């Protein structure tokens, strides 16, 4: 029996970026993009579900994000997750990878003890691949990155196949361990129709707050009890729940990374230049590459 928690993220569908979706501070205006389940996080969830299938245990998922991330958490239920946590607070807004990994590690410590923490290698919006490793450090877990497959788990050691340049590496990792996953040989399973039917009305605290605000006959505390009774409540955490959290380490203030500028670079072929195989020709090429900062 191994208990796993999977860090998942709802990301803007970067394949469909159009128009002005960048804010002045250099961050993405998420509200303007369709939101999707980050692909590699789905791979991570699939690996966690396979561990549960083979060895028993539970699979939880956790995300830090805006209220609408509850759609993705429901999709985690549809795949087979047992429990879901949404960490959401305005104070988290603008967090870079350092602040995010700090919040996630604090939240994971708060919600329970786990043998495995799974994450996708990177999210398609930032492409940093930093949150997984940083979280492992803060949890004081060993970590394996670029994981393709867990071959087996025995005596608290997991044998893991990870991708390296030009091949694969097999490593043994002591539990608890954090794994960041890439596309594996087994595709993420499809949603289960029964679970869709069961969890389609699952709600976070924020969803219920909205329901209560929109209808004066509904009371938040009653709704929470009702949804908990029906097993349709998605645990929702904010800074007030994570009482130990150091607020100077979160949000924009806790984030040393500043995005200077983001631009769309369209690569296109220009005219062909013929370079003579002479000292002059090659010298001119080197100068041109140096000027374009391609070399040096």
Partner 1 sequence: MPNFFTDNEDLKFHFNRFDLREILEIQEDSYTQKNDFDFAPENYEDAMINLEKTLELIGDISGNKIAERAASVDEEGAHFKDGVVTYAKGTIQNLKELAQADLTGMILPRKYGGLNAPITIYMAAAEIMARADGGLTNIFGLQDIADMIKKYGTEEQKAKYIPKFSTGEHTGAMALTEPDAGSDLQACKLRASQDENGQWRLNGMKRFITNGNGNVHLVLSRTEAGTKDGRGLSMLACYNDDTVVVRRIENKLGIHGSPTCELQYNNTPAELIGNRRFGLIKYTIDLMFRARLGVAAQALGISQAAYEEALKYSKEREQFGKTIYEIPAVKNILLDIRVLLETGRSVLYDTAKLVDLKEKLEGKLEELKAAGESTKEIGDRLKELTKVANLLTPILKYITTEAANKITYDAIQIHGGTGYMKEFPVERFARDARITNIYEGTSQLQIVAAIGGVINDILKDDFDKKAAKTYSGGLERLNGFLKEIREIFYESLKYVVDRKDSVFQEVAAKDLVELYSYIYTGYLVLEEAEELPRKKFIANRYIVTSLANAKKNAESIKNELFSDLLHANEILI
Q: Which chain residues interact with partner 1 by CB under 8 A?
A: 187, 189-198, 200, 231
> Closest separation between CB of residue 13 and partner 1, Å?
9
> Closest separation between CB of residue 294 and partner 1, Å?
36
> Closest separation between CB of residue 193 and partner 1, Å?
4
> Closest separation between CB of residue 191 and partner 1, Å?
6
CB distance 157 to 115 below 8 Å = no
- Which residue's CB is nearer to partner 1, number 196 or number 290? 196
Reduce the secondary structure of the chain to three states and give it as a string.
Answer: CCCEEEECCEEECHHHCCCCCECCCCCECHHHCCEEECHHHHHHHHHHHHHHHHHCCCEEEEEECCHHHHHHHHHHHHHCCCEEEEECCHHHCCCCHHHHHHHHHHHHHHHCCCCEEEEECCCCCCCCCCHHHHHHHHHCCEEEEEEEEEEEEECCEEEEEEEECCEEEEEEEECCEEEEECCCCCCCCCCCHHHHHHHCCCEEHHHHHHHHHHCCCCCHHHHHHHHHHCCCEEEEECCCCCCCCCHHHCCCCCCCCCCCCCCCCCCCCCCCCCCCCCHHHHHHHHHHHHHCCCCC
- Which residue's CB is nearer to partner 1, number 92 or number 199? 199
- Which residue's CB is nearer to partner 1, number 75 or number 96? 75
> Closest separation between CB of residue 215 and partner 1, Å?
19
- Which residue's CB is nearer to partner 1, number 35 or number 237? 35
- Which residue's CB is nearer to partner 1, number 174 or number 231? 231
> Closest separation between CB of residue 71 and partner 1, Å?
13
> Closest separation between CB of residue 149 and partner 1, Å?
17
Interhelix angle for 131-139 vs 97-111, to 10°?
50
- Which residue's CB is nearer to partner 1, number 113 or number 194? 194
- Which residue's CB is nearer to partner 1, number 159 or number 189? 189
């Amino acid at each position: 029996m191994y208990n796993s928690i999977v860090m998942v993220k709802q990301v803007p569908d970067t394949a469909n970026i159009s128009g002005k979706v960048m804010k002045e501070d250099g961050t993405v205006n998420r509200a303007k993009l369709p939101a999707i389940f980050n692909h590699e996080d789905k791979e991570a969830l699939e690996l966690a579900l396979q561990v549960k299938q083979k060895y028993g245990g539970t699979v939880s998922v956790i995300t830090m994000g805006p209220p609408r991330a509850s759609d993705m958490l429901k999709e985690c239920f549809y795949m087979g997750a047992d429990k879901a946590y949404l960490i959401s607070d305005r104070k988290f807004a603008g967090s870079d990878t350092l602040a995010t990994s700090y919040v996630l590690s604090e939240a994971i410590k708060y919600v329970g003890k786990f043998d495995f923490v799974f994450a996708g290698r990177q999210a398609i919006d930032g492409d940093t691949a930093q949150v997984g490793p940083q979280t492992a450090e803060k949890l004081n877990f060993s970590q394996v990155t670029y994981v393709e497959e867990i071959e087996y788990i025995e005596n608290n050691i997991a044998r893991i196949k990870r991708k390296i340049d030009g091949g694969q590496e097999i490593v043994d990792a002591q539990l608890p361990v954090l794994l960041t996953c890439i596309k594996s040989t087994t595709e993420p399973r499809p949603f289960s129709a029964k679970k869709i039917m069961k969890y389609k009305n699952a709600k976070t605290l924020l969803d219920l707050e909205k329901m209560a605000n929109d209808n004066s006959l509904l009371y938040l505390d009653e709704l929470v009890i009702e949804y908990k009774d029906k097993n349709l409540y998605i645990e929702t955490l904010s800074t007030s729940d994570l009482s130990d959290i150091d607020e100077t380490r979160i949000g924009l203030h806790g984030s040393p990374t500043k995005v200077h500028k983001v631009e769309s670079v369209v690569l296109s072929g220009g005219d062909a230049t013929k370079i003579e195989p002479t000292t002059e020709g090659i010298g001119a090429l080197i100068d041109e590459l140096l000027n374009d900062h391609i070399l040096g």
